[in-house]
Amino acid sequence: MDTTLQDPLVGQVLDGRYRVDARIAVGGMATVYRAVDTRLDRILALKVMHPSLAVDASFVERFIREAKSVARLSHPNVVQVFDQGTDGAYVYLAMEYVAGCTLRDVLRERGALQPRAALDILEPVLAALGAAHRAGFVHRDMKPENVLIGDDGRVKVADFGLVRAVDTVTNTTGTVLGTVSYLAPEQIENGTADPRVDVYACGVMLYEMLTGDKPHDGDSPAVILYKHLHEDVPPPSAAVPGLAYELDEMVASATARTPDVRPHDAVALLAQVREGRARLTGDQLDAVPPQALAPHHDNADDRTSVIPRALTTPRPGSAGRDGAAPEAELNRTSRLASPPPDPPARRRAVRRGPTAVVVALLLVLGVGTGVWYINSGQFTEVPPLLAKTQDQAEDRLRDAGLELGQVKHAHSDTVERGRIISSDPRTGARIRGNDAVSITVSDGPETVRVPALAGRKLAEARSLLKDDGLEPGMVTREFSDDVPPGAVVSAEPADGTKVRAGTAVALVVSKGSPVDVPDVTGDDLADAQAELEEAGLKVKVAEERVASAEFEQGEVAAQSPKADGRVAEGDTVTLTVSKGPEMIEVPDVVGDSVDDATRALEEAGFEVDEDRGLLGLFGDTVKGQSVEGGERAPEGSTITIEIG
């Protein structure tokens, strides 16, 4: 049943500008409409936040702030954000409209994809996410519903509505935002959201594209979350026998439960994917998946919406009211209750059932207190420290009964200066109380100054750049009266500019002073060579000579570059020499009419002149010709016909 007509926004004009024509999709956070920008007369997608969320001032503020940030992200594989605004109770984003379907639609219709198709979709997705990660953003809600495939085949990543800055680890509302089936373990456990959560979600999507199903299933969202925490994503070849080992490696690397084992961002994963793809044969890329792996869900299951209840720390067996959860509940963008401030203590409390019985028995025997201390009290877990400041880390360690150990520093392209990159032992590791935890603090991106390159030879400039941790970039050449040929005129970024290590530096190289090319066509070859060499140019003579009716044998018939062009001193001018006109057979036109004779001679390559005399003023028949038929004459020469 079409519910578009029942939607109160359809037919309305938001903010006096955007006419809402039809509803496209309903998600957990917003509804998406097709609309027309009446000012610019273009079709776009309008994403309107659900009114129930629009009353949350902090959520709206974050929605607007993050939308403005993403609007600055320009990439061909990212759905562009054009505008943002509010109209009464409606908070909206105006975005690029992509005519086509989602990856979810493709998986629903086709099931498992061939590896080639899966990688053809994954690579532009990773390119888009890589641009976001390098710009300092994390998507946090990657799933097939947010991968758009246009009618023209272009792949775009949509719905950066949950995007957050890379250095933001936990939110302030006590909730975790995301979609159950694609949440990384650290998102579930402590709300961590750095680029590696997007890497994890992409690994799950790759598994789903290769097998037609998700890696973890269960009776409820809580069970799925538990499996993400405690079970590895299985290799795709376990579900689809015959898939290449390289594909298993891609999935395993992206979905490692320990974040430090995963590629650090989408750019790194894209490099791994391309490297693995290069090792696959054509047969491995075009392996046809079994039809039995077609997905078992219907259209209703994939509608994005809000899970109607908060989920606490997941555990097996926590099913819904009827004991089973529809797949839609696993594909929804959800607000999940965050773990309490001390998840380790909570987990210990859950596990204390059997231990408490033992303790009670030991207490009866008079030895309980010491055993309880030995088995439990002296151990604790390292709290989450990533992206915190050193002071915040010290406070967290102190609250956990631990001490701050060695403080190291390292450069990072993704973690803000002064924030923590890693800890040793890592987050969640069990260590003895009062032990020390070492941390590595970010010094921000490694920066270097572009060296002085002007006047240096190109090879030397390239070597200097590499020695300083920079990359030689594109080389362009231009004329210069001051810089000798082959030396650097300028660099971009300029000499002395402070840039990130690894930045490409474009170089402008001198072609020397410009030289005007003289016109030597028609000159004798020896004279032409002398004139060009006197101008500071080199001469090359083309091996083949050309027939020319215009130039005599031995004269220059053509030159490259042409006359009046500008070249650098020492450049080469190629000369083509004439071998004179080509000799061709003259047709016999005696007895023909004037028109027929003229046509035959011109088609053969001759010019025609008429000699009528006194008797031929009114005649129309050729009585003779200056070169007899059957003889040879230079192409382009003139044949005179006598008319009588």
Cis before 425 (ω within 30): yes
Beta bridge partners of 477: 509
Tokens of 425: 């032992």
Give the span between the Cα atoms of 618 and 9, in whole angstroms. 89
What 607-611 contacts at long range (C-beta under 8 Å, 24+ apart), as own/partner pairs, is 607/636, 607/637, 607/638, 607/639, 608/638, 608/639, 608/640, 608/641, 609/638, 609/639, 609/640, 609/641, 610/640, 610/641, 610/643, 611/640, 611/641, 611/642, 611/643
Q: Which residues contact 615 (CB under 8 A, 6 or more apart)?
A: 644
Cβ atoms of residues 84 and 93 within 8 Å: yes
- Amino acid at position 620, single letter: D
- Gap between the Cα atoms of 96 and 74, Å rounded: 12
> Is the bond leading into 472 cis (omega within 30 degrees of zero)?
no
Residue-wise burial string across 392-411, b where 16 or more C-beta atoms lie within 10 A, e elsewhere: ebbebbeebebebeeeeeee
Q: In what order do the strands lie in the sheet with 18-26?
A: 13-14, 18-26, 30-37, 42-49, 90-95, 81-87
Residue 449 CA to residue 505 CA, distance in Å, equals 11
- Active-site pick, 21, 120, 141, 516: 141
- Which residue's entry shows tokens 């998406």? 32
The dihedral built from the CA positions of residue 193, 199, 204 and 209, taken in this order, carries a sign that is: positive
Report the run of H or E that residue 540 belongs to, with start and end. Answer: strand 538-541
Q: Is there a catalytic annotation at residue 141?
A: yes
**Helices 195-211 and 245-254, interaxial angle, to 10°?**
150
* CA distance linking residue 206 with residue 212, whole number of Å: 10
- Residue 306 amino acid letter: V
HSE of 251 in the Cβ direction (CA atoms, 13 Å)? 25
User: Quick one: tokens of 136?
Assistant: 């300092």
- Catalytic residue positions, numbered: 141
